[in-house]
Amino acid sequence: MTRFLLRRLVEAIVALFGIMVLIFALLHLYHGSPAAAMLGKQVTPQRIAQLNDQMGLNLPLPIQFYLWMKAAFWNGGMGRVLIRSLPPTLEMLGLGMLVAVLSAIGVATVQVRHPRTILDRAIGVILNTLSAVPGFWLGSLLVFLFGVNYPILPASGVAVMHHGLVSWIRHEIMPIATLSLSVVGPWSRHLRSSLDEAGAADYVRTARAKGVAAINLVRHHTFKNSLLPLITVIGLSLPTMLNTVIALEIIFAMPGLGIALISSLNGLYFAQATTVSLVLALVTVIGGLLSDLAYSFVDPRIQYR
Summarize pLDDT for 94-141 with one digit per residue, the tens.
Answer: 999 999 999 998 898 888 888 888 998 999 899 888 888 888 889 888
Instruction: Please compute the mean of the pLDDT values over residues 13-42 and round it to a whole number.
Output: 72
What angle is formed at CA 23 by the lines to CA 84 and CA 242, rounded to 5 degrees? 50
- How much is the pLDDT for 99? 94
Residues making up the chain, counted from first to last: 305
**pLDDT band with cut points at 50, 70 and 90 for residue 76:** low
Instruction: Please compute the mean of the pLDDT values over residues 215-220 and round it to a whole number.
Output: 70
Alpha helices, DSSP H only, in the chain? 2-29, 34-39, 45-55, 61-73, 77-84, 86-113, 118-132, 135-142, 165-199, 202-209, 214-217, 227-251, 257-266, 270-298
* Residues 263/250, Cβ–Cβ less than 8 Å: no
- How much is the pLDDT for 276? 80
The share of the chain scoring above pLDDT 90, in percent, equals: 7
- How much is the pLDDT for 240? 86
Q: Which residue segments constitute the domains of the chain, with CATH numbers given?
A: 1-85+260-305 (no CATH), 88-255 (1.10.3720.10)
- How much is the pLDDT for 3? 76
Residue 161 has pLDDT above 60, yes or no: no
**pLDDT band with cut points at 50, 70 and 90 for residue 305:** low
From CA 279, how far away is CA 285, in angstroms rounded?
Answer: 10
pTM metric for this prediction: 0.78
Which of the given ranges, 145-149, 175-179, 231-235, has the highest pLDDT on average? 175-179
Residue 283 has pLDDT above 90, yes or no: no
- CA 245 from chain center: how many Å? 6
**pLDDT band with cut points at 50, 70 and 90 for residue 268:** low
The share of the chain scoring above pLDDT 70, in percent, equals: 81
**pLDDT band with cut points at 50, 70 and 90 for residue 258:** confident
Taking residue 207's Cβ as centre, other Cβ atoms within 10 Å add up to 17
- How much is the pLDDT for 163? 63
**pLDDT band with cut points at 50, 70 and 90 for residue 160:** low
Instruction: Please compute the mean of the pLDDT values over residues 2-10 and round it to a whole number.
Output: 77
Pick 103 or 3 by higher pLDDT: 103
Among 285, 300, 207, residue whose Cα is nearest residue 8: 285
Mean pLDDT for the chain overall: 79
